[in-house]
Amino acid sequence: MLVLDALRVRYGPLEALHGVSLTFAQGEVTAVLGRNGAGKSTLLRAVAGYLRASSGRIHWQGSDITRAPVRRRADAGVMLIPDEGGVFRTLTVRENLDLFAAGRELTPALDAFPDLRTLSRRRVTLLSGGEQQMLALSRALLAPWRLLLVDELSHGLAPVLATRLYDVLAALAAAHPDRAVVLAEPDPREALALADRVHVLRRGELAATGSPADFDPATL
Ligand SMILES: Nc1ncnc2c1ncn2[C@@H]1O[C@H](COP(=O)(O)OP(=O)(O)OP(=O)(O)O)[C@@H](O)[C@H]1O
């Protein structure tokens, strides 16, 4: 279980999270929703260790990781797929996959995203947004994790592509019912369909918590 206790994060003088307390359960997909600037990316980056908490605590599987470096959190199973993809842009698709897999089989990613086979020798800079997001999500298919943090998977994508990516994510979550998945999305439609639990952030504060049925995507 991931527990955030009164988490505050600031960028210089600007405080982006104003004391957020939340729990994320193992075996659940949790959507963190909220408009642009609400603090979703900040929350995910702070959990993964790329941003420092100015106060409050982060506990993961019973350990206090508030001050733990990124590497230690990764070793404890925390994986962040950031909104910019977290891929190596000057490398080819295949080179990225090899780095993610670190000697493991590439088949899970290539089976989930057959397009990546044909794009194998293409540089990331020449990929479309959707292809880049497929590559980004491949990391979660190739390397082990216990807590997957996915930031704006559907960002800028056509609905049909977003649905494809979400289908792969849903299958991944279903295959690992003992793990936790957290999705940050400004557009709630896909995330609400997949999530077991929903938290809504507004201007750096928790505005609502509930099950997907409690929320109307049109009013979020
Ligand atoms: N690197 C940064 N430097 C200064 N302020 C930042 C930085 N990144 C984010 N912010 C500010 O922190 C607040 C929260 O931003 P954050 O990116 O976490 O929101 P978000 O909900 O993820 O929105 P988006 O969907 O646009 O990514 C906003 O006011 C934003 O302007």
| Residue 47 belongs to some domain of the structure | yes
Give pLDDT, residue 184: 96
| Residue 219 belongs to some domain of the structure | no
- In tens digits, the chain (220 residues) has pLDDT values of 999 999 999 999 999 999 999 999 999 999 999 999 999 999 999 999 999 999 999 999 999 999 999 999 999 999 999 988 889 999 999 999 999 999 999 999 999 999 999 999 999 999 999 999 999 999 999 999 999 999 999 888 888 899 999 999 999 999 998 999 999 998 888 889 899 999 999 999 999 999 999 988 777 7
| Residue 220 belongs to some domain of the structure | no
* 14 CA → ligand 1 middle, Å: 10
Return the closest-CA partner of residue 196 out of 28, 59, 13, 20.
28
CATH number for the domain harbouring residue 207: 3.40.50.300
Q: Is 122 exposed, middle or buried (0-12, 13-18, 19+ CB in 10 A)?
A: middle
| Residue 134 belongs to some domain of the structure | yes
Choice from 15, 36, 149 to test ligand 1 binding pocket (greatest atom count within 8 A of CB): 36
H helical segments located in 113-200: 115-118, 129-142, 159-175, 188-194
Query: Ligand 1, closest atom to CA 43?
Result: 18
| Residue 22 belongs to some domain of the structure | yes
| Residue 61 belongs to some domain of the structure | yes
Protein residue with least CA distance to atom 16, ligand 1: 39
Domain that holds residue 132: 2-214
Query: Ligand 1, closest atom to CA 42?
Result: 18
* 111 CA → ligand 1 middle, Å: 35
- The total number of structural domains in the chain stands at 1
| Residue 180 belongs to some domain of the structure | yes
Give pLDDT, residue 19: 97
